[in-house]
């Protein structure tokens, strides 16, 4: 039985109102990121290393939260909705070794449960076995494996003697940080582009506590003063590297362990950790994604004609000016990114990237009016050039830095590439002729990249989103395919026959992977979620090959799952740095508004108005 059109329209109306009500006092959206056991464990250890007495209350609060939020199986996941994993469990287990068992009598029982989980997963509590499992999990990418093992060593979990424990922590060549930044991609560093602070601080701690012999001892000793100054230079004014508790904590504990408690970086980092703790004693994975959720919200509220009737002129002006003010006008000290991009947050720890930049460009296109058009166009030109210069030789877009393709999280990605294609297309007609030519050439390369990246089943896999239900690879082809299909449908008039076939195959994959309940997960048979169902519906709404019944079933599932647009439980489908799970409270709300709005515009039913 088809859904009642008035029911779906009521759901859309209530969801829109809920989204509009989520704006903060400054007029934009801030959202709320999930609390993180991993962040909490790392913050606790960092504060303990700096001054266990001074920060005793914060440390005890973090320990208490970890004990109260241990999974039933004895482990910890990245979020309170996540299954236990070995990385987070090792970090939490190690952090609890620093707890005051008299003040927290439940800590010993929590440790015993954790040790049982680790033995089942690793095979034993032997330091060598733990180190081998952690290293194998991340392969040649040491961005996260080395910090994890460092924390375990600092907490006494890899042996009582520091020299013995630190032999399991792989050295990091921090001396390479003193070379010109343009050389980094060619040097194939063992960490990703955004992990320079960890390379410097942890590399120095490993050198200090387990120094090498021979020439490397001299080289690293001579390199530290310059590397130390660089670390201070790239620390944002907030004190939080990437606005992230884990990276900031790893840097802090490494410096403290190396005898650098009085380093200026430590004081600012501690201030950041103290400011970012939540009332329940935990820390989030990052401060916020304010820019990202604001641009998503603007796009979700827009009509097919490109207007945003739900926002007043004053509202639109406020958001537009806020976004314009966030465009980077100088080279970024952290990644050395050129001016012109946007980060995920307006806070000083953000870094310009190839998902938030196209998001901002698309939002500005929707927010520009006659009075502000020239200003928006000039900002768009800078952003477009930034993306053009970032494009890799394979035609795809990486997240932060061009040419850093040696490690997974620095490679070109279909979801970023698709988002960039939409941004280029939105502003293309308003750009000067030479830039339009550059866009045309870059677009063709990007389309070829997407064609190569499509899997034989018709799907695309994103970089920054996953699904825990796909235990083998934790990928999320629903998100990736929806993003690419949405972009290719816009570009279809100038695509060749093979590219059009890629689009049809993407549509087919989404249709074939709709669950029997009408919703979508990451693939057929995985639990349906609000986020994935909304994304799939949004992508399929304009497909000429999509049966009306599939859209109706999906829309009805979405209405039911959100209690007619009034309740939006979030799922942990987001990947943070180093493949850490997170959920954002606004994702299901934003994507529901976008999907139902797109369905309304596509005339799912004559009675549904947009």
The dihedral built from the CA positions of residue 251, 254, 257 and 259, taken in this order, carries a sign that is negative
> Which of 112-121, 348-357, 504-513, 596-605 has the lowest average pLDDT?
596-605
Q: How much is the pLDDT for 608? A: 39
pLDDT of 22 > 80? The answer is yes
Query: What is the token pair recorded at 379?
Result: 């900002």
Give the pLDDT confidence of 282-340 residue by residue, as tens digits: 999 999 999 999 999 999 999 877 789 899 999 999 999 999 999 999 999 888 899 99
Closest CA to 281 of 57, 72, 38, 530: 57
User: Which residue matches tokens 């709709």?
Assistant: 514
Phi then psi dihedrals of residue 273, to 5 deg: -65, -40
For the chain, the structural domain boundaries read: 36-284
Residue 299's CB is within 10 A of a number of other CB atoms, namely 19
User: Which residue matches tokens 């070995």?
Assistant: 86
Which of helix, strand or coil describes residue 380?
Answer: helix
Query: What is the token pair recorded at 201?
Result: 């601080």
Per-residue burial over 139-166, b if 16 or more Cβ lie within 10 Å, else e, is: eebbbbbbbbbbbbbbbebbbeeeeebb
Confidence of residue 3 (pLDDT cuts 50, 70, 90): low
Strands 574-576 and 580-582: antiparallel
Q: How much is the pLDDT for 405? A: 57
Closest CA to 151 of 250, 263, 3: 250
Q: Give the pLDDT mean for 407-421.
A: 90
Specify which residues 574 forms β-bridges with.
465, 582
DSSP 8-state assignment for residue 457: T
208-217, 508-517, 570-579: which is most confident: 508-517
Give the pLDDT confidence of 223-233 residue by residue, as tens digits: 899 999 999 99
Which of helix, strand or coil describes residue 475?
Answer: strand
Distance between CA 565 and CA 320 in Å, rounded?
27
Give the pLDDT confidence of 496-528 residue by residue, as tens digits: 999 999 999 999 999 999 999 999 999 999 999
pLDDT of 604 > 70? The answer is no
Q: How much is the pLDDT for 525? A: 92
pLDDT of 163 > 70? The answer is yes
Q: How much is the pLDDT for 2? A: 59
**Per-position DSSP letters for 213-281, written without gaps between them:** PTHHHHHHHHHHHHHHHHHHHHS-TTS-GGG-HHHHHHHHHHHHHTT-TT-HHHHHHHHHHHHH--TTS
Q: What is the pTM of this model?
A: 0.94
Q: Which long-range contacts (CB under 8 A, 24 or more apart) does 312-315 make?
A: 313/369, 315/27
Q: Greatest CA span in the chain, whole angstroms?
A: 79
Q: How much is the pLDDT for 93? A: 99
Provide CATH code, domain 36-284: 1.50.10.20
User: Which residue matches tokens 């927290």?
Assistant: 104
Give the pLDDT confidence of 449-482 residue by residue, as tens digits: 999 999 999 999 999 999 988 877 789 999 999 9
Q: Give the pLDDT mean for 75-102.
A: 96
pLDDT of 126 > 60? The answer is yes
Q: How much is the pLDDT for 183? A: 64
Query: What is the token pair recorded at 595?
Result: 């999907």
> Which of 4-18, 118-132, 370-384, 491-505 has the lowest average pLDDT?
4-18
Q: How much is the pLDDT for 317? A: 98
Q: Give the pLDDT mean for 103-125.
A: 96
% of the chain beyond a pLDDT of 70: 95
State the chain's mean pLDDT as an integer: 93
Closest CA to 483 of 561, 539, 566, 565: 539
Q: How much is the pLDDT for 218? A: 83
- How buried is 393 (Cβ within 10 angstroms: 0-12 exposed, 13-18 middle, 19+ buried)? exposed
pLDDT of 610 > 50? The answer is no
């Amino acid at each position: 039985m088809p859904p009642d059109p008035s029911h779906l329209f009521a759901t859309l109306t209530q969801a829109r109102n809920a989204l509009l009500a989520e704006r903060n006092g400054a007029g934009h959206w801030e959202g709320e990121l999930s609390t993180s056991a991993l962040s909490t464990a790392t913050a606790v250890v960092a504060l303990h290393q700096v001054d266990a007495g001074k920060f005793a209350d914060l440390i005890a609060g973090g320990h208490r939260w970890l004990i109260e939020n241990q999974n039933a199986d004895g482990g910890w996941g990245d979020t309170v909705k996540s299954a236990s994993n070995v990385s987070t469990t090792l970090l939490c287990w190690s952090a609890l070794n620093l707890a005051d068992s008299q003040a927290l009598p439940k800590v010993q029982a929590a440790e015993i449960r954790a040790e049982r989980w680790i033995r089942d997963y690793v095979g034993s509590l032997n330091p060598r076995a733990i180190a081998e499992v952690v290293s194998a999990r991340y392969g040649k990418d040491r961005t996260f494996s080395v910090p994890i093992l460092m924390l375990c060593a600092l907490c006494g979990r890899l042996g009582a003697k520091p020299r013995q424990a630190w032999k399991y922590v792989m050295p990091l060549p921090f001396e390479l940080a003193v070379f010109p930044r343009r050389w980094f991609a060619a040097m194939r560093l063992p960490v990703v582009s955004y992990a320079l602070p960890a390379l410097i601080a942890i590399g120095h701690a490993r050198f200090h506590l387990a120094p090498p012999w021979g020439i490397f001892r001299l080289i690293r000793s001579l390199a530290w003063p310059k590397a130390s100054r660089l670390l201070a230079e790239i620390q944002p004014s907030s004190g939080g590297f990437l606005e992230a508790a884990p990276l900031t904590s790893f840097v802090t504990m490494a410096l403290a362990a190396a005898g650098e408690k009085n380093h200026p970086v430590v004081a600012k980092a501690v201030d950041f950790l103290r400011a970012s703790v939540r009332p329940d004693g935990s820390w989030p994975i990052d401060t916020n994604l304010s820019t990202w959720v604001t641009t998503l919200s603007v796009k979700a509220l827009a009509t097919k004609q490109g207007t945003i009737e739900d926002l007043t002129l004053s509202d639109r002006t406020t958001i537009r000016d806020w976004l314009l003010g966030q465009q980077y006008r100088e080279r970024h000290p952290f990644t050395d990114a050129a001016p012109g991009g946007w980060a995920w947050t307006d806070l000083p720890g953000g870094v310009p990237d190839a998902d938030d930049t196209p998001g901002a460009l698309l939002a500005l296109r929707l927010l520009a009016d006659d009075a502000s058009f020239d200003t928006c166009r000039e900002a768009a030109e800078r952003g477009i050039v930034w993306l053009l210069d970032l494009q890799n030789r394979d035609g795809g877009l990486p997240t932060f830095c061009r040419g850093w393709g040696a490690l997974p999280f620095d490679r070109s990605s279909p979801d970023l590439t698709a988002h960039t294609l939409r941004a280029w297309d939105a502003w293309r007609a308003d750009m000067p002729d030479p830039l339009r030519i550059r866009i045309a050439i870059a677009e063709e390369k990007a389309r070829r990249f997407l064609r190569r990246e499509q899997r034989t089943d018709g799907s695309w896999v994103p970089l920054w989103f996953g699904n825990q239900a796909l235990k083998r690879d934790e990928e999320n082809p629903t998100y990736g395919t929806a993003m690419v299909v949405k972009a290719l449908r816009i570009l279809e008039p100038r695509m060749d026959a093979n590219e059009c076939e890629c689009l049809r195959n993407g549509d087919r994959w989404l249709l074939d992977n709709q669950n029997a309940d009408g919703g979508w997960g990451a693939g057929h048979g995985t639990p349906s979620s609000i986020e994935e169902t909304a994304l799939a519906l949004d992508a399929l709404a304009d497909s000429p090959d999509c049966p009306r019944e599939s859209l109706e079933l999906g829309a009805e599932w979405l209405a039911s799952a959100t209690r007619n647009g009034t309740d939006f439980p979030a799922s942990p489908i987001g990947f943070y740095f180093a493949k850490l799970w997170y959920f954002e409270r606004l994702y299901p709300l934003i994507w529901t508004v976008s999907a139902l709005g797109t369905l309304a515009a596509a005339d799912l039913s004559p009675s549904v108005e947009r």
